[in-house]
Structure 1
């Protein structure tokens, strides 16, 4: 399958960002810089960029949490709900800064980004710079009705699920959440959007990991990323009861049988350490302390404010 990636030359290496999976890869050959169409199977086979290999001017990828509001109330949510909401004008300004910063990939998140009418405009403004690929993470509740307008402006979509079954997912997110997410996923795939599932690994859901892989393959979803739970935001309140150790998470993933053609990824807390989040208040934050906390690094008033010092782990 041919889809859109972002490429850049950094320290003599060609780095390619995958907007669907969220990974960074080293190309064996020199590629044109900017948004580029590549075979996803080829990119997946290339080695991932490892911590300490690169010294990019800006983070390779980041999250823009452009809305605080959400129609759901997930107990493991990472977002800071005390942050003020952004205005449409501020979102356009931030989109311009991201587009000009040199960031290869940005994931539009929240809160729930599909609550914003101007979400397509923000995605367009970021992509207009010609260098950045744009994905969006959603709970899927409003996805079915918005898939058609989002498909032309997004390079990837990540649908969050808290379980492979309706009973498990809705226990965390509320009645009807699972059916809305699955219906939205079908609509997005029908519109040609590359979709992947994301699930935060917790004690209450990790035994459904295999079922989620099988469900993804059945629906035509391209991959599944399992995220080690972070004790940040509301997640701090349930971390002691729900957080898996690294060994437990790795054992869960190692035991899975991956359906043909499906991409599987485990994002450990180590890989999340140092990741950049631009929140609705226009402050750039970074995961710190092994991704067990998050701290402000800069107020973003220009593209250069996103040229943050690269931490010891990959951006």
Structure 2
């Protein structure tokens, strides 16, 4: 499949960011800077870039959570629901700062970003305006079926959270009808030509459905699956002792899985999440530290330079 990626060259090294999977790759030859159309299977075959070995003055990718509100109340959520939510005008300013920062990939998350009605497509397009960034959105999928058409022209990819491959497992965590709504949203997004990546937070309670999730992705026409290691941050900290897997346990679960043709698979360990940049709904930026179990560099973003947090040791 040919789809959009972002490319940039840092001190002679070209890096390509995948907005769906969230990975960074080293192409065998230089590419034009900015948004480029590439074959995703070809990109997947390129070596992954280690940001710690690059001369960077800004992160390769980041997450922006412009909204605190969510229609679900998941007990494993890592968001801080106590922070102030930016106004529409403040969100527009932050989007302009992100666009000017030269970050390659931006994932708009929350809260639930699809609760941003007129804002969401405009914010995504504002970030993409300068042609240097690609934008994805992470959603619980509840409102995706009715919004897929309007989002197709503003997003480069969409990531849908599933806490299980079955309705019983997913709805145990997310609430009644959440699985049905998410599946309907995935089908609608695929139908609109959006590249869809399924995301599952690996836990003791759903690890047995990892293979089934890969098979479901292929059935639905999704392009891939990302298995996320649980982060003991926010509400999820209370579940860590009961549900959290070690990185080694997660690797043992994912390694033997049979991957259907055309499906991309990624395991984001806590180690690989360390150093990732997050911009909160109140306009403050921070980085994951201590194996993504804490935060640091907590500063207000008043301009593009404020997103250029120290990247030493980062794997963003």
Q: Give the whole-Å Cα distance in 2 for the aligned partners of 1:236 and 1:314.
A: 22
Long gaps (5+) in structure 2: none
Tell me if structure 2 keeps the 8 A contact 1:20–1:196.
yes
- The equivalent residue for 1:141 is 142
Give me the CA root mean square deviation: 0.8
List aligned pairs for 1:256-271, cutoff 5 A.
256-271=257-272
- The equivalent residue for 2:35 is 35
List aligned pairs for 1:124-203, cutoff 5 A.
124-203=125-204
Tell me if structure 2 keeps the 8 A contact 1:55–1:310.
no
Tell me if structure 1 keeps the 8 A contact 2:52–2:311.
no
**How big is the shift at 1:46?**
0.4
Is 47-56 or 194-203 further displaced after alignment? Answer: 47-56
- The equivalent residue for 2:124 is 123
- Paired residue secondary structure (2:132): coil
- The equivalent residue for 2:252 is 251
Q: Give the whole-Å Cα distance in 2 for the aligned partners of 1:102 and 1:55.
A: 14
**1:72 lines up with 2:111 in the alignment:** no
List aligned pairs for 1:1-315, cutoff 5 A.
1-117=1-117, 118-315=119-316
- After the TM superposition, which parts of structure 1 deviate over 6 Å for at least 4 consecutive aligned residues? none
- Paired residue secondary structure (2:287): strand
Deviations 1:107-160 (A, max 9, x none): 000000000011111001001011000000000000000000000000000000
Q: Give the whole-Å Cα distance in 2 for the aligned partners of 1:37 and 1:259.
A: 24
TM-score relative to the length of structure 2 = 0.98
**How big is the shift at 1:241?**
0.2
Tell me if structure 2 keeps the 8 A contact 1:232–1:294.
no
Tell me if structure 2 keeps the 8 A contact 1:95–1:126.
yes
Long gaps (5+) in structure 1: none
**How big is the shift at 1:293?**
1.2
Q: Give the whole-Å Cα distance in 1 for the aligned partners of 2:46 and 2:201.
A: 26
Tell me if structure 2 keeps the 8 A contact 1:195–1:223.
yes
Q: Give the whole-Å Cα distance in 2 for the aligned partners of 1:263 and 1:201.
A: 17
